[in-house]
Amino acid sequence: MAARALSYGLIFFLVLFQSHPAFALLPYLASETAVTVERGKSKLDLSLQDDRWNSRLSTYALKAEMTSGLINNLDFSVDVPYLFRNQKKVTDEDGLGDLTLKAKVRFIKGREATPVSIAGQLSVKFPSCNKDKMLSQECTGEPDVGIRAIASKEFFPVTVHLNLGYLFIGNPPDKRLNDIVVYSLAFDYLTVADHFHVVGELAGETHRYPKSTAGPMMTRSTSADPLSVLIGLLYDVDVNKALSLSSSFGLTEASPDYSLSVGFRYLF
């Protein structure tokens, strides 16, 4: 299963590298930047993430996100994941995940005198995932709606991103889920090597499952909320392309033990 996920990812990368040639890639778990895509521009983000929950259970997500600048300070995104689930001696599944549409508005643009950008984002998740396969904890078969406040501030050579959001979770007929508060603090440090960035993030959320139910993938307790820390490296290939490599570690039992992710961004 891991080989199949990697093969799909490599196909995407090989196709894109045939395109014409920094726009910094943000390989975070949850954080968004307050900067919007310019009007008339688009960017394509591809990533392959491997989550290890324990020695027997692994999940993979191959994600493609297209973002376009509609007007000044407003962009629109479409996020489509393809999910893989591998549980040794039990099951081996894959399928399309839930499609998410996002619209981001930048209310304050950072300038030299006040280098702070403030934005708001609205997201709607559509239930395109096959919930019977239990490919992910988010695959509920119901739509979700989220709102998010985003602040980005530059302290050259470091840029910091602060996110705070709320997700209204759709409840399936057979269970009741909690709404979610999401939060994260991330940084991007431009090294003296110019094209290399060191990135980090602390990301968490309140649990969608009531305390009396099983946790993510039906293997973890819900006594603690998901909380993870990420460290990564990204490289600006040129003005239009960037690559990223990151690793994250769960700080609570409700999070994956560790995750590995590779990503690619193309601005056009």
H helices present in the chain, as ranges: 2-16
How high is the pLDDT of residue 222?
Answer: 59
Contact 227, 250 (CB under 8 A): yes
- pLDDT mean across residues, the chain: 83
Q: Which CATH class is domain 2-267?
A: mainly beta
Contact 92, 72 (CB under 8 A): no
The whole-number pLDDT of residue 261 equals 95
Mean pLDDT (whole number) for 126-139: 68
Percentage of the chain modeled with pLDDT above 70: 81
Distance CA 49, CA 28 (A): 11
Neighbours of 29 (CB within 10 A): 22
Residue 99 has pLDDT above 80, yes or no: yes
* pLDDT at position 9: 42
What pLDDT shows up at residue 136? 54
Average pLDDT over residues 89-104: 84
Structure confidence at residue 96 (pLDDT): 86
What's the pLDDT score for residue 183?
Answer: 97
Tell which wins on pLDDT, 221 or 166.
166
In this predicted structure, what is the pLDDT of residue 17? 32
Cα-only R_g, the chain: 18
Position with higher pLDDT, 86 vs 229:
229
Give all strands (DSSP E) within the chain, no chain letters.
42-52, 57-71, 74-87, 91-96, 99-108, 116-126, 144-155, 158-168, 180-190, 196-205, 227-236, 241-250, 258-267
* pLDDT for position 19: 31
Per residue in 49-85, pLDDT tens? 999 988 778 888 999 999 999 999 999 999 999 988 8
pLDDT band of 89, cuts 50, 70, 90? low
> pTM for the whole thing?
0.82
Query: For residue range 211-252, what is the model confidence (pLDDT) as tens digits?
Result: 755 444 445 555 789 999 999 999 999 989 999 999 999 999
